[in-house]
Structure 1
């Protein structure tokens, strides 16, 4: 019999790992559920059948499906140039970023992991995060045997960066190599101040990298992205994705903007040919002028529904305060108990009842710093928002013991009366 023992053979940090979880680990999509849990683009990809069939690969060629026996372009310079064209707004600098400033990977998660492997020595170094924030920073840190230093954001509703405490930690903790900042934040939906980010970049003694995660930045006002700022700051990396505003979560395309030396390091350590030819072609179409026009239309539709939720949710008995910002495609709202207090038991009951009995999946965030009693609600289509509002009103009444029948609430009638239906 083999003496194999998993507990002594595997790395201890991996045995202790708590993997990233999502609501769909508990509630699978059966084709009828409304999925407002993962901050996907409810409008879908900005593609037509014609667009898919003519999506370009680099210099205008159509996707050659018979050419899939060949490895894809390992450098993706044409796609990188399109991404540079998108972010060279010259709002934040007169300098211009080029493909030499880019790393493209399999979602932003690859960039998160690549930065850890690039800069952190396992078992010695650490990263700094600012809860509440995206869970994959800590998961990737544990996978790489890298310690975690936490400096919470200021309390809601602002969820701003506590610059003084971040700078203090960078001065006192010798082995912090990376600071992961999320703007707009997840689950906060709030933008971090540009000058707050600058203050961290200008720390006088810290030798490390600020990683700014801008996954949702295209739902914020135009010109918000600091991607082009990597031309000014060699210690800044800005991560973005095509999964959110661009509606292309299924192709798993993430981007990291960085100074050329840092981008070279990231590109040197990644797996070869990691971006498939179909992924590259579809991504190139989506960030082309034609694709961006369709992205803009879908984004406007979602912003209208975001405004509708902001108008309708506070009118529902049992819904409390908006606890985050409005610069993403999701909102963070309190759920109140029968006494009118934000309450995790109530929020969890609403979350479970919505999913199990109403076919509406949102995300419970009540256990995160500053998010007591909160649900994170992804903005859906007009029909999805209508169904969600009705389901939420009935569910809150049931959870808080009022027993209100579903017929007592007509969100479509109410919101049309207030002029907020798109």
Structure 2
């Protein structure tokens, strides 16, 4: 076994008695790390990572008045971050800061939940693919197995067919729990990535109420602000100690660069996460920017931008549908996030992974448009995912998709 990503030609310098391959845990050596389109393409119109293409919502006057260089950067940051938590609690209508945990992006929270809840090599998590890839990556890093209950895909995702729709099969989740009592965490992504699927609160509640499941349900709501106001599972927290809802400032707030994730739950779980985190996990610049983003006027700006992106999402779906004659199938999923997933079809009107990959590469390498290939995900054969960009970015992307599809 070798180290993935390291060329065998890289020389080893050091004592002859040391072999790093015998020191690193086998599950880490076997790990295939999370990869994204940005690993390969960093330039052009970037519609691959579901960022907020309209930018952050902090007003210019706030940014000018509050420079991060005026902060006490020589001091360690506040370990408690009470001010940020107060504003999060007010925004999300939870009782107080004892219901709020802050992490370095949602990824830190995912990893921390596994470390505090799941015994390595003994217990498991449950995921519902196609879903966010970091659940599986974190599981392998922590030597935790992942039980898979795929989302149910209904409809035909090919040319001329009905758009495919995804839903959580609650009965299958219950069956998996019955078959394996070592499952400690259930990860539900709502709206889903890459599907855009919004999970009904009734389905989440049914899993929370299932007596045979003794663990915690994790609802990942990274894209919740792009869905309807009543869609969030935060409303269930007051009645369920076994629920944690994850959110982030990366998407709707347009602050992917500051890396701030949020966990909302009843105080017992929040306290456990607080007891376990690194002492100064949220940096001073991050908390400073977050406080500006969580001011009432910035929140109003954020919501205005969301409304614009939601309208652009509908236009993008309609524009993609106009390319049906070139092999673009109906958008699949729930379309409740800031992206659209659509299949590229080939001979016989069926989704075609090879053609989708060629389109993905030619868009990025010759046309300056970076989207995301998702054809390897269950139920997403032949699919690309495109982030809703600015109106100009969307127009350019559609034009380039049309040009490339006309020749492949």
TM-score (structure 1 length as normaliser): 0.88
Shift in Å, 1:2: 2.8
Deviation per residue, 1:192-235 (Å, 9 max, x gap): 11111111101112210000000000000123212242221000
The 2-side partners of 1:348 and 1:44 are apart by 29
- Partner of 2:153: helix, strand, or coil? coil
Aligned counterparts of 2:199 and 2:396: Cα–Cα separation in 1? 32
Q: What is the rounded CA distance, in whole Å, between the counterparts of 1:78 and 1:392 in structure 2?
A: 46
Counterpart contact for 2:34–2:137, Cα < 8 Å: yes
The answer to whether 1:396 aligns with 2:405 is yes
How far off is 1:50 after superposition? 2.0
2:203 to 196, 206, 216: 196
The 2-side partners of 1:232 and 1:101 are apart by: 13
1:82 to 67, 74, 87: 87
2:363 and 2:389 mapped to 1: Cα distance? 15
Residue 307 (structure 2) aligns with: 300
Which one is further off, 14-23 or 221-230? 221-230
Q: Which residue does 1:414 correspond to in 2? A: none
User: Which residue pairs with 2:11 in the alignment?
Assistant: none
2:58 is equivalent to residue 7 of structure 1:
no
Residues 37-84 of structure 1: per-residue CA shift (max 9 Å, x gap): 0000000111244212345xxxxxx85725111111111111111111
Aligned match of 2:77 in 72, 77, 81? 72
* CA distance in 1: counterparts of 2:29 and 2:240, whole angstroms: 38
In structure 2, C-alpha distance between the alignment counterparts of 1:12 and 1:365, rounded to whole Å? 28
Corresponding residue for residue 119 of structure 2: 121
3-state SS of 1:179 partner: strand
The answer to whether the Cα contact below 8 Å between 2:59 and 2:298 also exists between their aligned partners in 1 is no
Aligned equivalent of 1:353? 362
Aligned pairs (5 A) from 1:334-413: 334-399=343-408
Residues 101-135 of structure 1: CA deviation (Å, up to 9, x unaligned): 11101000000000000101111111000000000
1:330 Cα deviation from its structure 2 partner:
0.2
Q: CA deviation at 1:393?
A: 0.5
- Secondary structure of residue in 1 paired with 2:244: strand
What is the DSSP-based 3-state SS (H/G/I as helix, E as strand, rest coil) of the residue aligned with 1:321?
coil
Correspondence list, 1:308-323, <5 A: 308-316=315-323, 317-323=326-332
Structure 1 residue aligned with 2:103: 105
Match of 1:47 in 2: 58
| 8 A contact 2:200–2:231 mirrored in 1 | no
1:256-312 alpha-carbon deviations (Å, 9 max, x no partner): 001101000001111011111121111111122011011012112211211111111
Structure 2: how far apart are the matches of 1:348 and 1:311? 23
Deviates most, 37-46 or 149-158: 149-158
Superposed displacement of residue 86, structure 1: 1.1
CA distance in 2, matches of 1:164, 1:295: 38
Quote how far apart the aligned CAs of 1:338 are. 4.5
Q: Report 1:241-280 matches (<5 A).
A: 241-280=248-287
Deviation at 1:324, TM superposition (A): 0.9
Structure 1 residues 148-297: aligned runs within 5 Å = 148-156=146-154, 157-297=164-304
Per the alignment, in what secondary structure is the counterpart of residue 165 of structure 2? coil
Which of structure 1's runs of 4+ aligned residues deviate more than 3 A? none
* Structure 1 residues without counterparts, runs of 5 or longer: 56-61, 89-95, 400-422
Q: Deviations over 1:160-204 (max 9, x none)?
A: 110001011111102110000000000000101111111110111
Task: For 2:109 and 2:123, locate their aligned partners in 1 and report how far apart those are by CA, in whole Å.
Answer: 18
Q: Give me the whole-angstrom Cα distance separating, in 2, the residues matched to 1:153 and 1:167.
A: 14
Q: Is the 8 A contact 1:108 1:254 kept in 2?
A: yes
Aligned to 1:17: 31
Aligned residues: 383
CA–CA distance in structure 1, aligned partners of residues 83 and 145 of structure 2: 37
Secondary structure (helix, strand or coil) at the match of 2:166 reads coil
> CA contact under 8 A between 1:318 and 1:338: conserved in structure 2?
no
> Which whole-Å CA distance do the structure 1 matches of 2:224 and 2:72 have between them?
35
Q: Gaps spanning 5+ residues in structure 2: where? A: 1-14, 155-163
